[in-house]
Chain A
Amino acid sequence: MAPLVQVENLEKRFGEVRALDRVSFDIEAGEWIAIMGPSGSGKTSLINILGGLDHPTGGRVVVNGQDISNLSERELTRYRCEKIGFVFQQFHLVPYLTAVENVMLAQYFHSITDEKEAADALRRVGLGDRLDHVPAQLSGGEQQRVAIARALINHPKLILADEPTGNLDEANEAVILELLRELHAAGHTILVVTHSQAIGNLADRRVELEHGRLARIHVPSVAKD
C-alpha cells in the first residue's frame, strides 16, 4: 500500500537561497511525524508546500495519490479544503467569530455547516462551555484547542501543525500534547513542525532538517506512554 505522503527530491528556492534541497521522505497513514531543525532549516517551507500554501521549485509531493506539485491556485484551494487540517502557532482564529463559528467557518468553506457537529468537536477538546466565546475571551490554550477542533471538523487526510505549543505555557502545552496523542491514537496522520524535544519524542519519527537538507530521520527511543 502506497504511503499517504510521498516527498521526492523536493526543492524550494527563494532567488539564490535554497530553502529546501532535494528532500525526500514518506509518511504512512496514521503516522505522527515531527519535523525538527534550527531556524532557517526549511521547516516552514516544507509544511507550506505540504499544506498547499506554496509551490515547490523542484521535485514532487504526492498526497493520498494526488501530485500537488503543479496544481493551480484553485486546485490547491480545493486540496487544502478537502485534505488538510491546519493548526498554527499563532492559533489564527477569526477574532469576531465565536469558537463554534470559527469551527463552522471550515465547514462553510468545505460544503455545509452543522452547528451541532461543530459544537461536538469543541466538546471533544474540552470546550463545551466556551462555544459562544470569541477568541479574545479564551486563553491561549483554549484558542489552540478551537484551532484543533477546526482542523479536525472536515476529517482531513493530514493534520499539519506548525509549532502548536510555541505560544503556550507548560500547562496548556500538556493539554495540547495530550490532544495530539489522542488524535494519533484515533488513527489521524499528523505532521508537526516543532522545536520541542518533548513533542519530537512523542512522534513516531523525527525528520530533522539542516540548511534545507534532510539531515536524518530518527525513531525516538523513549517510551511514548
Chain B
Amino acid sequence: MPIPLRFCGESEFVPTRSMFLRILWKLLGASRGRLAVALIALTSGAAVCSALLNVNLDAEKKLTQEFRTFGANVVIAPPSTGGDAALADASVMDRIAALHNSRIIAATPYLYVAANSGKQPVILAGTWFDQLAKMNSWWKVEGVWVSSGDDQAECLAGVAAARQLGLAPGSRVELRSGDQNISMTVAGIVTTGGAEDSQIFTRLELAQRLAGLSGKVSLVQLSVSGTAPEIEAVTSQLAGALTGLEVRPVRQIAAAEGSILGRIRGLIFWTIALILVLSMLGVLASMAALAMERSRDVGLMKALGGPVSRIMRLFLAEAGALGVLGGTIGFFAGALLARWIGGRVFGVEVSPRLIVFPVTVALTVLAALGGALPLRLLGRVRPAEILRGE
C-alpha cells in the first residue's frame, strides 16, 4: 500500500484537528484530580463574578429607584426678584404632568406661609400629601399620615414645631396669617431630620386661602429617576417647557447618588478582580503540580519531533477548556447566587442577564490561561534529560 509522503513543520498537509481534540480529551481525562481542583477554583470565581455582575446591573436600577424616595433632586421655582419671595402659578403642575415623562417619580408643589399659632411664629407649608408621601417615604410619622385629599382640616406637624407648640396626634392647632384664621387637627408628627421638622404641612388649597394667594405656589420639588446624565436630560426638557421658571437639579443629592453608585461599582470591580486573582492562584497551584507530572510526556513529545508551540497549544487549549467550562457552570451558579443576594441585600429580584455570560466566560478563560503560566516551563524541558530519567 503506498504511503503518503509527509513533511515536518511547514507541511503541506494540515495536521488533523481531530487528533488535537483527541489528545486534548485524553489530557483532560488523565489529570482529572488536579484539573478538578483547578475547575473548582475557576467555577467558584466565575460564580462570584457572575453574581456580582448580575447584581450590579439590577441593583443599580433598584438603588436609583430607591434614591428617589429620599427626597427631591430637582427644584422648580420662579426666579428670585431680590425682594419678597416670588410666586409661581399653580398651573405649573399641569404643565409638568403634560410632559408625560416617566422619569418624574413625584412632583410636589409647596406654598410657604408665615403664620402664627398664638404668639408663636411657624411656617405653614401647603402641599399635595399624596406626592409628599411618594417623595419622602422615609419620613418617620407618629400618628397617621394625612390620608384623605379632601379633608382640609388635617395637618402634619414637624417634630420641632410640635414641641414648640405643644402638639400631639389628635390635638387641634389654630393658625393665623394676616386677618385669616384656620383650625386643623394634627394627624401625625413627622421627623424628617431637616428643615421640615420646624414646619406644619397642610393641603395646598388651605394654605393658599390662609395667605390669600389662590392659585400660587412657592416652588415645586421633583423626584427624577435615572443617572446624572438622564436627570440632566429631564431638567433640560423641563426648562424648555416651563419658560419663566428656574429648573435646578439639586447638585448635592445628584452628586451623592452618583458617588454611592460609583463606590458600589468600584467595590464590585475590585471584588471581581480580587476573585479572579484568587481563582488564578488556585489554578496556578494545580498547574504547577501538573507541569511537574507532565515533564516526562513533554520530553517524549519533543523527542518525537513535536514543536514546542504545538505542544504548548495543547496545554493552553486544556486551560482554555477549563476556563470555558468553569465560566459556564459559574455563570449559572452565579445567577442563583445573584437572586439570593438581590433578595437579601437589595430587596430586589435579580434576573440573570445574557450579557453577563460572555463576560464571565471571557474573564474565567483569562484567569485559567494566567493560571496555566507554569506550563510554559515545559517548553524548556530538555528531552534527553527527561528520557534519561533526570
Contacts and interface: CB of A to CB of B under 8 A. Distances in A.
A111 interface: yes
Contact of A109 (B26, B301, B383): B301
Interface stretch (A61-69, A79-87, A178-186, A198-206): A79-87
A174 interface: no
Contacts of B15: 108, 111-113
A110 to B, nearest CB: 5
Interface stretch (A23-31, A93-101, A217-225): A93-101
B194 interface: no
Nearest to A85: B304
Interface in A50-93: 51, 53-54, 74, 77-78, 80-82, 84, 86, 88, 90, 92
Contacts of A106: 304-305
A88 B387 contact: yes
Interface stretch (B4-12, B109-117, B151-159, B180-188): B4-12
Interface residues of B, number: 39
B388 interface: yes
B304 A82 contact: no
Interface stretch (B16-24, B90-98, B242-250): B16-24
B3 A112 contact: no
Contacts of A167: none
Q: Most chain-B Cβ atoms within 10 A of its Cβ — which of A51, A92, A104, A150?
A: A92
A109 B305 contact: yes
A51 B302 CA distance: 12
Nearest to B299: A92
A53 B384 contact: yes
Contacts of B20: 108
B23 A108 contact: yes
Q: Which size class do A's interface residues fall under?
A: 35 or more
Interface string B11-38: 1011110111011001101100000000
A19 to B, nearest CB: 12
A165 interface: no
A83 to B, nearest CB: 9
A212 to B, nearest CB: 17
B8 A81 contact: yes
B6 to A, nearest CB: 4
Given A53-B303, A101-B26, A106-B304, A111 B8 contact: yes
A6 interface: no
B7 A82 contact: yes
A81 B4 CA distance: 16
Contact of A110 (B14, B305, B388): B305
Interface string A123-166: 00000000000000000000000000010001100000000000
Interface in B288-311: 296-297, 300-308, 310
B307 A74 contact: yes
B389 interface: yes
A172 interface: no
B300 A78 contact: no
A77 B381 CA distance: 13
Contact of A105 (B6, B23, B29, B387): B23
Nearest to B30: A96
B7 A77 contact: no
A101 B26 CA distance: 10
Given A44-B388, A112-B11, A80 B3 contact: no
Nearest to A108: B19
Contacts of B11: 110-112
A20 B285 CA distance: 41
A117 B8 contact: no
B346 to A, nearest CB: 48
B16 A109 contact: no
B301 to A, nearest CB: 7
Given A54-B384, A109-B310, A104 B19 contact: yes
Closest 7 CB pairs of A and B: A81-B305, A96-B30, A111-B6, A81-B8, A53-B384, A111-B11, A109-B306
Interface of A: 44, 48, 51, 53-54, 74, 77-78, 80-82, 84, 86, 88, 90, 92, 94-97, 101, 104-114, 117, 120, 150, 154-155
30 contacts: A51-B303, A53-B383, A53-B384, A77-B9, A77-B308, A78-B8, A78-B9, A80-B305, A81-B8, A81-B305, A81-B306, A82-B8, A86-B304, A88-B387, A92-B296, A92-B387, A94-B300, A105-B304, A108-B23, A109-B8, A109-B304, A109-B305, A109-B307, A110-B7, A111-B8, A111-B11, A111-B13, A112-B6, A112-B16, A117-B3
